Amino acid sequence: MERNFTGPDEYQKHFMPKDYLATYYSFECGSSSETEMVKFNLQCLHQTFGPGGLRGKTLIDVGSGPTIYQVLAACEAFSDITLSDFTDRNREELQKWLSKDPGAFDWTLVLKFACELEGNSSRWQEKAEKLRATVKRVLKCDVNMSNPLAPVELPPMDCVLTLLAMECACSSLAAYRAALCNLASLLKPGGHLVTSITLQLSHYMVGKREFSCVSLTKEEVEQAILDAGLDIEQLLHSAQSYSTTTAPNKGICFIVARKRLGP
Ligand SMILES: C[S@@+](CC[C@H](N)C(=O)[O-])C[C@H]1O[C@@H](n2cnc3c(N)ncnc32)[C@H](O)[C@@H]1O
């Protein structure tokens, strides 16, 4: 285990959804590094789930945090979406948006950008409704458990999505490799893992609190995916990074991989 690993108890006590959203998803200041990172992920997700892309019935997003941007493209391609996160506060924040609570985070600008990628930014309210109808449940998850959804058991999924979460949830490269096997176990043979991971990130800030990450190289991520029984179909590597005071990563990788049909 790396020194000063921010474990589940710290996430539960100290990860404040509003601080996280304000720092990484305000999407207002035009060309900030944080906004560019969201755009990078939205563009990759549009390519993956847009016309000619992945299709299926069931998709689970693992380590959703308090965010919904990551399923805006997928809700047009999958009819049953599960969101999941370790902390109660994050799951509550997701429920607030799903139930149109007046205190929910305002995703309008991100919704408009996702719809613009699809060719019609005026459709953003319709997309919000589509997503609300497609998210069927919000579950507790722990990627470090062999069944990350225990005690809940879901039928094997067509797609597992996880963005910017595995590097935060794992204490070491060995833990990351094991957690990828746990995620792969949620997939049907032939199902897809879609993941975005910040590279060489040691920590990130949420409000005034620092959260640890396992620092991963592109090669370590690729090898871990192959060793978890998946074939990499697409890998996009970008030098795009967050502001150094917020999250000093060195680039980001977006990967689409497919679970092998046999051993
Ligand atoms: C940096 S946030 C990413 C949130 C969101 N996916 C995004 O793209 O912005 C990392 C998330 O990992 C979650 N997390 C931390 N440890 C976890 C664990 N053991 N299992 C599942 N999720 C965990 C945290 O609660 C937090 O929501």
Q: What is the ipTM of this complex?
A: 0.99
Residue 67 has which token pair?
Answer: 């965010």
CA–centroid distance, residue 116 to ligand 1 (Å): 27
CA–centroid distance, residue 159 to ligand 1 (Å): 18
Say how far apart CA 94 and CA 113 lie, in whole Å: 20
> Is 1 inside any structural domain?
no
> Is 165 inside any structural domain?
yes
| Residue whose CA is at the smallest distance from ligand 1 atom 15 | 169
| Residue whose CA is at the smallest distance from ligand 1 atom 10 | 165
Residue 29 has which token pair?
Answer: 């200041």
CA-87 nearest atom, ligand 1: 25
CA–centroid distance, residue 85 to ligand 1 (Å): 6
Q: Which of 164, 202, 210, 254 to mutate to test the pocket of ligand 1 (most atoms within 8 A of CB)?
A: 164
Burial profile 115-143: b = 16 or more Cβ within 10 angstroms, e = fewer = bebeeeeebbeebbeebeebbeebbbbbb
Q: Where are the alpha helices (DSSP H) in the chain?
A: 8-14, 17-24, 33-49, 88-98, 108-117, 124-134, 166-169, 173-184, 218-227
Domain holding 25, by residue range, is 9-259
Say how far apart CA 61 and CA 8 lie, in whole Å: 18
Q: What angle do CA 68, 79, 100 make, to 5 degrees?
A: 40
Say how far apart CA 117 and CA 88 lie, in whole Å: 32
Strand partners, 235: 255
Q: At what angle do helices 173-184 and 218-227 cross, to 10 degrees?
A: 40
CA-90 nearest atom, ligand 1: 27
Query: CB of 193 within 8 A of CB of 27?
Result: no
| Residue whose CA is at the smallest distance from ligand 1 atom 17 | 169
Say how far apart CA 204 and CA 245 lie, in whole Å: 8
Would you tell me how many other CB atoms lie within 10 Å of the CB of residue 29?
9
pLDDT of residue 247: 97
Q: Which of 163, 187, 186 is nearest to 63 (CA)?
A: 163
- pLDDT < 70 positions in the chain: 1-3, 29-30, 263
pLDDT of residue 139: 98
Length of the chain, please?
263
What's the domain count of the chain? 1
Instruction: Look at the pTM and tell me if it is higher than 0.80.
Output: yes
CA-196 nearest atom, ligand 1: 8
CA–centroid distance, residue 165 to ligand 1 (Å): 4
Residues having CB closer than 6 A to ligand 1 are 8, 11, 15, 63-65, 67, 70, 85-87, 90, 141-144, 163-165, 168-169
> Is 2 inside any structural domain?
no
Strand partners, 209: 206
> Is 224 inside any structural domain?
yes
* Residue 239 φ/ψ, nearest 5 degrees: -80, -5
Identify the three-state secondary structure at position 155: coil
| Residue whose CA is at the smallest distance from ligand 1 atom 22 | 63
> Is 205 inside any structural domain?
yes
> Is 59 inside any structural domain?
yes
The CATH number of the domain where 72 resides is what?
3.40.50.150
> Is 3 inside any structural domain?
no
CA–centroid distance, residue 62 to ligand 1 (Å): 8
CA–centroid distance, residue 142 to ligand 1 (Å): 9
The DSSP H or E segment spanning 139 is: strand 135-140
> Is 4 inside any structural domain?
no
- DSSP letter string, 44-99: HHHHHHSTTS---SEEEEES-TT--GGGTTGGGT-SEEEEEES-HHHHHHHHHHHT
Query: CB of 48 within 8 A of CB of 25?
Result: no
Annotated binding site for S-adenosyl-L-methionine: 20, 25, 63-64, 69, 85, 90, 142-143
